[in-house]
Amino acid sequence: MTRFAAPIAEQIWDMKYRLKEADGTPLDTTVEDTWRRIARALAQAESDPEVWEKRFYAALEDFKYLPAGRITAGAGTDRTVTLFNCFVMGTVPDSMGGIFDMLREAALTMQQGGGIGYDFSTIRPKGAPVAGVAADASGPLSFMDVWDAMCRTIMSAGSRRGAMMATMRCDHPDVEHFIAAKSDSARLRMFNLSVLVTDDFMEAVKADGSWELVFDGVVYKTVQARDLWNTIMKATYDYAEPGVIFIDRINKANNLNYCETIAATNPCGEQPLPPYGACLLGSVNLARLVKNPFGSDADLDQEALDDLVACAIRMMDNVVDVSKFPLPAQELEAQNKRRIGLGVTGLADALLMCGQKYGTEEAAAVAEGWLKQIARASYLASVELAKEKGAFPLFDAEKYLASGNMMQMDDDVREAVRAHGIRNALVTSIAPTGTISLYAGNVSSGIEPVFAYAYTRKVLQKDGTRTEEEVVDYAVQMYREKFGADAELPEYFVNAQTLAPLDHVRMQAAAQKWVDSSISKTINCPEDISFEAFKEVYLEAYETGCKGCTTYRPNDVTGSVLSVSEEKKDAPAVVANDDAEPQQPHGDVIYMAEPLDRPEHLEGNTYKLKWPDSEHAIYLTINDIVVGGHRRPFEVFINSKNMEHYAWTLALTRMISAVFRRGGDVSFVVEELKAVFDPRGGAWVKGKYIPSILAAIGGVIEQHLVATGFVEGQGLGLKADPTAKVVGLDAPRGKACPSCGQFSMMMVEGCMTCSSCGHSKCG
C-alpha cells in the first residue's frame, strides 16, 4: 500500500525530496526511508537519539508534520547544504568595497541553497555625490542589477536558482525608481520587491499630507504621500510588484524588539529578519488532524494537535544544532536566538472538512482559534525545552515579556516563560508550502484557499510520451470517497477563483494575530477589479493588523494564472453566493505549444566544423520535421572526439533540441549563439572573424535553416511559421514553467509555482 494520496505526491517526492546517488540511483527506497532519514538526522542532537528518532518518525508519518523542503531534502544526506530556508543578509554598507563584500556573501549563501533578503535603503541615491572621486552615485538599483546577474549565475543546492527579496524604505529618494523597476519585464527577474511602509507614511496618506524623501539627513525631494501611495498601488495593480511591508508593525510585534531591528524579509515575506538572521520552517498538516471529516461533529483533534506541535518544535530546535551555515555570522545569529517558524498547511481543506466556508467571519474565527492553540502549544513546548536544555542566550525575562506578541499571550504561558525561560525567541510563521502541500497529497497550501478542485496534469514519461492525469484537491477527494464520485459539492466549497479579495484579507488578518513572524499569502484579484477596489485591499490589510500585503492580478508582464476548471463530472460548478449564477464549466488546463511528436524517420544533414587550433572537428547533424508542407528544425546532434567538448556539446544538443521541438519561431537560437564572445579570442574562418566556437555552431545552424527555407537569409528571422496557429491560443493560460515547460505556473503565497512539476522560484 502506498502512503501517497495522489500520483503527483509520489512524483514530487521522487523529483525533489528522495535521496539519490549522483547518477540518480535511489537511496531512499520508499517515503518511509525519507522519514527515517530525517528523524535519525534530527535525533542526533538528543542525549537519547533512539527514543527521539521513533517519536520524530511518528510525527512525520503520513505527512502529519511537514518540515520545509530544505530539511526534507537535505537532512541526513551529508551534503554541504543548509537546512535553513531563508536568510536576511547583513546591512549593506554605503561603499563600493562593502557592497561587493555583501555580494560575495550572497553568492555563498545561495550556493548552499538559501533564499536571501536585503534592504537596499542604506545605499545613497542616484546622483548623490561620492566623496574623493569627483563622481555621482549610481544608486541602489544599479547594484540590484549586479545582484540579479549574480543570482542568475549561481546554481544553488537542490538544482534551483536562488530567490531574493529586495526592500526599500518609503522615504528613500530612489523609491519611485524602485517602484517602477519591474515595469521592465526583463529587469530584476530574480528579485521579489517590497516597499517598507511606515506608520507615519500611512497616516500621511490618509491625511493627504506631504512626504519627504530623505537620505543621511538630506531632503532630496518632497512629494504628496497619497501620490506616492497611488504610484505603489498602480505598479502592483499593473504588474504585481512591489509588495507592501508594514515595517513599523513588524518591529513593534517582534518578541526581540529589545535587541534587534528588522528592515528586510526573506523572499516570500513570511520571515522578517534582522541582519544575518536565519529561519527554518515547517508546517503542521491540519488536513490530517480533522476528526470525522464532513460529519456533523467534524472538528480538529485538539489533543493530537498539541502533541504534534510539541514534537515539531523539538525537531525544529534540533535543526539549529545539526544544520550547516553558509556564513559564521548566520550561525551565531541563529544560535543566539534559536528562531524557528512553525506554521500550517491544509487549513482551507480542514475548514471544508468542518463545514466552514473559507473567507467568512465564522471561518476566520475558527482559523484564529486554531492558530492561537498552535501558538500556545508552541510556546509551552519551547518552555519545556528551556527547562531541559536552557533558554536562548539573549533571553531577558522582563524585556522579553514586555515585547511583541508575548504581551498578548495568555497569563499561564507568560508565567511559564517568566519562571523557566524559553528555548526559541520566535516560534511561529506561515511559510509557502506549495511543493510540500503537493507532496502531502495536494492539500490546500498554507492558509490559502483551495486553488482549484481538480485539473488535468500532463506528465512526461520516460519513453518521451505524455500522459494525462487528474489532480484533485485532498478535501474534494475525501468528499468523493465518502459521498460518491457524482455527489454535488456543498455551497461552502469555495476556491481562489471565486473568492472576493477582502475575504482573503479577513483570513490573513485572523491568522496574523497569533503568528510571531509573518504570513506568506497571495490575495488573488480578478483582472477586472477596479483600481479603487484594489487599493481598498491594501488599506484593509493595514487597518486589520496584517504585517504586509501581496496581491496577484493577471497582467501583461507576469502573465495569467493557471487556467483551471472543474468539469461537472469532477466537481460541480461553484456558486459564489446564494444569488449568483453558477460558473460556466470549461475544459482542462490549457497547455500551449506542446512539443512536436517525433516521427520514426526524419530528413536531415550533417555538417563538419573545423575550429582553428582544435585537434578534432565537430560534427553537427540537424534533422527536420515537415509541418504544414514546410521543413522546420526538430533536433540537433553535436559530436566530437575531443572529450573536453563532451559536456557542453551534450548540454547544447539537449537544450537546442528541446527548443526546436516546441515549434514556433526558433530562429532566435541562431542569433543567441552567434552573439557569444569568447574572452580568450575567436578565430578567422573563411575570411570572416567568428567570436567563439559557439558562434561558429550558430552559423552552421543558420546555414541549414537558410538552405531549407526556414529563414529567408543570414541575419533574418522566420520566413513562415507553420505552427503559428495553435488551437486555444486565445484561452487564458499560465506562464511556461522554466523546469518542465508546461504552461501551468500560478501565483501561490507570493511565489510563482508550477502545478505540473512543483517547481517554484522560492523552493
Residue 406, pLDDT score? 94
Residues of the chain scoring pLDDT < 70? 1, 132-134, 154-162, 458-466, 556-596, 613, 628-629, 679, 712-751, 755-763
Report, in angstroms and rounded to the nearest whole number, the Rg of the chain calculated over CA atoms: 27
* CB of 438 closer than 8 Å to CB of 758: yes
* CB of 444 closer than 8 Å to CB of 410: no
Residue 466, pLDDT score? 65
Q: Phi, psi at residue 739, to the nearest 5°?
A: -95, -55
* CB of 606 closer than 8 Å to CB of 699: no
Cα–Cα distances in Å, from 415 out to 395, 411, 696?
Answer: 15, 6, 74
In sequence order, what are the residues at sequence separation of 6 or more whose Cβ sits closer than 8 angstroms to the Cβ of residue 720? 630
Long-range contacts of 410-417 (CB under 8 A, 24+ apart): 410/376, 413/376, 413/379, 413/380, 413/383, 416/379, 416/380, 416/383, 417/379, 417/383
Cα–Cα distances in Å, from 703 out to 609, 616, 635?
Answer: 12, 21, 15
Note the pLDDT tens digit of each residue in 155-189.
443 344 568 999 999 999 999 999 999 888 778 88
Note the helical H segments in 390-410: 397-401
Torsion angle, alpha carbons of 117, 122, 124, 125, to 10: 50
Distance CA 589, CA 580 (A): 24
**Helix 49-60 with 31-43: angle, nearest 10 deg:** 140
Write out the DSSP string of 668-687.
HHHHHHHT---TT--EEETT
C-alpha cell at 163: 530567490
- Please choose, from the candidates 580, 597, 613, 604, the residue with its C-alpha nearest in 3D space to the C-alpha of residue 682: 613
521592465: which residue's cell?
A: 184
C-alpha cell at 114: 538559501
**Helix 225-239 with 531-543: angle, nearest 10 deg:** 110
SS3 43: helix
542589477: which residue's cell?
A: 145
Q: What's the 3-state SS for 335-380?
A: HHHCCEEEEEECHHHHHHHCCCCCCCHHHHHHHHHHHHHHHHHHHH
* CB of 166 closer than 8 Å to CB of 192: yes
638: left (phi over 0), alpha (psi -120 to 50) or beta: beta
For the beta carbon of residue 158, count every other beta carbon within 10 angstroms: 16
Note the pLDDT tens digit of each residue in 736-748.
565 555 556 666 6
Q: In what order do the strands lie in the sheet with 603-609?
A: 603-609, 618-627, 630-640
Cβ-count burial of 298 within 10 angstroms (0-12 exposed, 13-18 middle, 19+ buried)?
middle
Cite the active site residues.
Answer: 266, 268, 270
Distance CA 44, CA 319 (A): 10
- Please choose, from the candidates 407, 405, 330, the residue with its C-alpha nearest in 3D space to the C-alpha of residue 374: 405
- Please choose, from the candidates 336, 441, 445, the residue with its C-alpha nearest in 3D space to the C-alpha of residue 396: 336
* Strand pairing category for 65-67 and 278-285: antiparallel
C-alpha cell at 319: 535543526
How many helices (H) and strands (E) the chain has is answered by 23, 30
In sequence order, what are the residues at sequence separation of 6 or more whose Cβ sits closer than 8 angstroms to the Cβ of residue 752? 558, 735, 745, 746, 760, 761
Q: What's the 3-state SS for 194-228?
A: EEEECHHHHHHHHHCCEEEEEECCEEEEEEEHHHH
Residue 573, pLDDT score? 31
492558530: which residue's cell?
A: 371
Residue 711, pLDDT score? 79
Cα–Cα distances in Å, from 523 out to 62, 477, 507, 526?
Answer: 30, 25, 10, 10
Note the helical H segments in 407-473: 411-420, 434-439
Q: What's the 3-state SS for 245-271?
A: EEHHHHHHCCCCCCCCCCCEECCCCCC
Q: Count of residues for the chain? A: 763
* CB of 437 closer than 8 Å to CB of 346: yes
